[in-house]
């Protein structure tokens, strides 16, 4: 544990006094201070000027990261007949109907994304209290309630990321792996920030994007200049 403590202290010293840096600087700093043996995820946290308890201030959406997430996404699909076959052919890890519902009710949740055909929603609806808090509930707004299950499975496997504002108005997501090239991480981060910017709800008042932080799974965080994260001054102005 002492060795880990030294690593943590060294990383914190490297990050000390560095605030509102450019996306490029933040990515370089994070990559230089990853010392673990596993490939850490680069994570983004965005503090937004919204109160998700109000329907007109909810922020949610989906974005396809241009360079993927680097994560093996496990996909479950609620479907029957030909649609179930399509899902399996597209690479779904778990496909089912009532049997899948019972598995989930039994506490076995071995997937990262849940997709359903519209006719399956009466079954899926019974799982709201289980899937909802985990942000796994299929929703037509983010393309996970659809008849085109094959495309939905491929998108989930190919680096599509869902986002949803938590109670405090914070959006979290993984935007790649520390092993990614710096340019690819920067591209992913800007794509994610752009998607959240475009998801600004009608009820948002005042400053929309308040703070953006980046970190690796085990590392300290660093705040990023919002204008740098949006990639251009026009988008930054729109965020206000």
Structure tokens at 110: 């071995």
- Domain assignment present for 193: yes
| 175 and 144, same domain (yes or no) | no
- Domain assignment present for 201: yes
| 195 and 208, same domain (yes or no) | yes
C-alpha closest to that of 207 among 85, 47, 90: 47
pLDDT value of residue 33? 87
- Domain assignment present for 5: no
Give CA–CA dist 43/65, Å, rounded: 13
Boundary (domain end) residue, out of 122, 157, 192: 157
Q: Which residue has the higher pLDDT, 200 or 14?
A: 200
pTM score over 0.85: no
pLDDT value of residue 237? 38
pLDDT value of residue 5? 63
Residue 209 has pLDDT above 80, yes or no: yes
| 41 and 54, same domain (yes or no) | yes
C-alpha closest to that of 200 among 159, 237, 145, 147: 237
What total of structural domains would you count in the chain?
2
């Amino acid at each position: 544990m002492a060795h880990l403590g030294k690593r943590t202290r060294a990383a914190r010293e490297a990050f000390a006094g560095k605030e509102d840096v450019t996306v490029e600087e933040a990515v370089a700093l994070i990559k230089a201070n990853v010392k673990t043996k596993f490939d850490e995820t680069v994570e983004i946290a965005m503090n937004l000027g919204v109160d998700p308890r109000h329907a007109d201030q909810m922020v949610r959406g989906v974005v396809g990261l241009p360079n993927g997430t680097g994560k093996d996404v496990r996909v479950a699909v609620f479907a029957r007949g030909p649609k179930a076959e399509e899902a399996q052919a597209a690479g779904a890890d778990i496909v089912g109907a009532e049997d899948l519902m019972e598995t989930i009710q039994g506490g076995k949740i071995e997937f990262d994304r849940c997709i359903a055909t519209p006719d399956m929603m009466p079954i899926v609806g019974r799982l709201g209290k289980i899937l909802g808090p985990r942000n796994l509930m299929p929703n037509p707004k983010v393309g996970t309630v659809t008849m085109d299950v094959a495309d939905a499975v491929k998108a989930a496997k190919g680096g599509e990321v869902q986002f949803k504002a938590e109670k405090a108005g914070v959006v979290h997501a993984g935007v790649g792996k520390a092993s990614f090239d710096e340019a690819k991480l920067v591209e992913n981060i800007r794509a994610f920030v752009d998607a959240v910017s475009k998801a600004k709800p009608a009820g948002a008042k005042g400053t929309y994007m308040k703070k953006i932080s980046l970190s690796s799974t085990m590392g300290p965080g660093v705040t990023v200049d919002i204008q740098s994260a949006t990639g251009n001054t026009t988008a930054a102005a729109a965020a206000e």
